Chains A and B, each alone.
Chain A
Amino acid sequence: MNDSLWILTVAIIASIACALTGSTLIIRRQALTADAISHAVLPGIFFAYSISGGRNSFWLLPGAAAAGWFAAFLIQGLQSKLKLPSESATGLVFTAMFALGVVLISYYARQVDLDAECLLYGEMAYIPLEQFYLEDTPIGPKALWVLTPVVLFCIITLLPFYRYWNLISFDSIQARMLGYSPVWGHQWLMALVSWVCVAAFQAVGAILVVALMVIPAQTALLYARNLKQVWIQATLWALVSAIGGWLLAELLAAAYAASIGLVSLVALGAVFLFTMPQRNT
């Protein structure tokens, strides 16, 4: 399989994982949490690197995901205990954690081979360079092997529990009365989002993870009638963006991740104009 096809495969898998988690976030009005978590993983990544030493460590994923989950927990706490407005709480937590990450990285710059810019940009063109080896035989890029379990987990824990997610997202009081706890769903979703962010950040960069989570989901939400529709349509738009963006990047030799984000934005704009209700004059 040639290099650019590997990139396309990784893009498709990443965009499916992002679309499923992102659409669940956006119907719960937590779209900005994706933005916050993707930045807040930085100190977690630093701690995982410095404890185990090395980019390929096993601890990277759980360490960073724990930091992301912690950020979500903190935002929730600031909102409910101190009654801060949600945007202020979100902005405060993620900038503080990102600043902490940058400070730690620059303080231990000699020991840790890591910089914050690589986290923010990401470069999909490097995906095929890092192969995963099974007894000295390359079996596909590492990013693929990191992302595949994530996407499987998203599918397994979201789609079969449609009724649960629907209930806790739209009517949490009813959910409680029926004996379903919205709290566990919320915490699980935060953990899932953190995991997707961390798994995808090396490949596509932190801020473009947010683009892949939020934009196809918002596009689907413009016209979908229920949660199942939002999931399916968001995944379709994510696929369209992944393939379209890949083609655009191949044609113009531009950055893959940014092209995918751009195509999804153009799709959102088109659907927006198409579904905007006409004003009664």
Chain B
Amino acid sequence: MNSSLIGVAIGLVFIATLAGILSVPLLLRRQALSGDLVAHALLPGLVGAFMITGIKETSILLMGAVFTAWIALRLLAPLQKHPRIKSDGAMAVLISGAYALGVFMLSLLQKTENATQAGLDRYLLGSAAALQWQEVWWAVGIFLLIVGGILPNVSALQLWLFDPDQAKMRGINTHRLERGLEIGICLAVMMAVQFVGIVLAAALLIAPALIARPWVNSLLGLWIGAAAISAFAALTGTWISFQSAGMPTGPWIVLSLAIFCTISYACWYAKRIFFQAK
């Protein structure tokens, strides 16, 4: 046990738990791929922030990234107002379009300054091994911020997630909840991307709620189950990847989640068949 392993484990547990909590509303609202969209739309913001300011300071780059990611997320609804655009088309167009824009800007940047290339490439696949204590505290802070935002609104969220019309009738400010959820997702994905990368960040926002879903029947149960399973997957993935040198942590966390998901649904399926046979 060395201090870097502990730091990586703490940081990843907080990030994964946060993503697990947010995966529940995404599953219930059938927007599971929003995480993927946000992750891809971070790229133009990262590059753009660097182009404008010229400073390779992580916090400034991430602010730009969250800004473009939020815009991309907000574009989903207006795009679907067109009668010929369905939800899958809008999602696919925004994911690939945002990424194309990001790579285009990156190629313009690389033409002028070669030195920065390495810094931005880091976000593509992420690097948990390069995690520093400062980033761990950031992860803890954002976790507390979002959980603190959710706790006072649990009952309103519950009504909104299961029956949005009823929530509106009761005078709950659903716009506020929606904006809050969007910002929460942007912040969580921003943290996740640094450690697991653009492609795999989406998995942290999809799998946990799916794993818990067959076994619990309440929102609170779903939240606790998803948070616990993501924390466990983060620990498992970190532990496996530290067994041999050069093993990436992010992909192992995602693989652990996929294995847990297989086990969960295999058990559920077996149980269903067993009880039907009786």
**A interface residues with partner B (beta carbon < 8 Å):** 26, 29-32, 34-35, 39, 81-82, 84-88, 90-92, 95-96, 98-100, 102-103, 106-107, 109, 116-117, 120-121, 205, 207-208, 210-211, 214-215, 218, 221-223, 252-255, 257-262, 264-265, 268, 272, 275-277
Contacts and interface: CB of A to CB of B under 8 A. Distances in A.
The interface centre, meaning the residue of B84, B92, B93, B203 with most chain A CB atoms within 10 A of its CB, is B92
Nearest to B102: A258
B246 interface: yes
Interface stretch (B104-112, B142-150, B162-170): B104-112
B246 A30 contact: no
Contacts of B261: 92
B104 A261 contact: yes
Contacts of A253: 111
A102 B92 contact: no
The interface centre, meaning the residue of B35, B106, B107, B207 with most chain A CB atoms within 10 A of its CB, is B107
A208 B95 CA distance: 10
B254 interface: yes
B203 A95 contact: yes
Contact of A106 (B82, B96, B100, B248): B248
A252 B112 CA distance: 11
A223 B85 CA distance: 11
Given A99-B251, A99-B258, A265 B97 contact: yes
7 contacts: A26-B88, A92-B203, A100-B255, A117-B125, A207-B95, A254-B111, A275-B84
B92 A272 contact: no
B206 interface: yes
Contact of B269 (A30, A82, A260, A268): A82
A220 to B, nearest CB: 10
A106 B32 contact: no
B121 interface: yes
Interface string B211-238: 0000000000000000000000000000
B202 A91 contact: yes
B95 A215 contact: no
B130 interface: no
Interface string B80-104: 0111111011011101110111011
Given A30-B88, A91-B32, A107 B254 contact: no
Contact of A218 (B27, B89, B210): B89
Contact of A277 (B83, B93, B95, B106): B83
B265 interface: yes
The interface centre, meaning the residue of A95, A205, A218 with most chain B CB atoms within 10 A of its CB, is A95
A275 B82 contact: yes
Is the contact region of chain B dominated by helix, strand, or loop, or is it mixed?
helix
B254 A272 contact: no
A178 B125 CA distance: 49
Contact of B199 (A120, A214, A215, A268): A120
A207 B106 CA distance: 15
Contacts of A258: 100-101, 103-104, 106-107
Given A210-B95, A261-B104, A109 B246 contact: yes
Nearest to B203: A95
In the complex, the 3 A-B pairs of residues with the closest C-beta atoms, listed nearest first: A261-B100, A255-B107, A95-B203
Contacts of A222: 82, 84-85
Interface residues of B, number: 56
Contacts of A268: 93, 97
Given A95-B203, A253-B111, A214 B96 contact: yes
A240 B218 CA distance: 51
A31 B104 contact: no
A116 B196 CA distance: 13
A210 B92 contact: yes
Contacts of B199: 39, 95, 98, 120
B139 to A, nearest CB: 20
A35 B269 CA distance: 28
B41 to A, nearest CB: 12
A39 B269 CA distance: 28
A207 B200 CA distance: 14
B79 A272 contact: yes
B200 A215 contact: no
Given A107-B244, A264-B100, 14 more contacts: A87-B31, A87-B91, A99-B252, A103-B251, A106-B251, A207-B100, A211-B99, A214-B89, A218-B85, A218-B93, A261-B101, A262-B97, A265-B93, A275-B82
Given A92-B210, A277-B83, A106 B104 contact: no
Contacts of A223: 84
The interface centre, meaning the residue of A91, A106, A109, A260 with most chain B CB atoms within 10 A of its CB, is A91
A262 B101 contact: yes
A96 B32 contact: no
Contact of B247 (A34, A103, A210, A276): A103
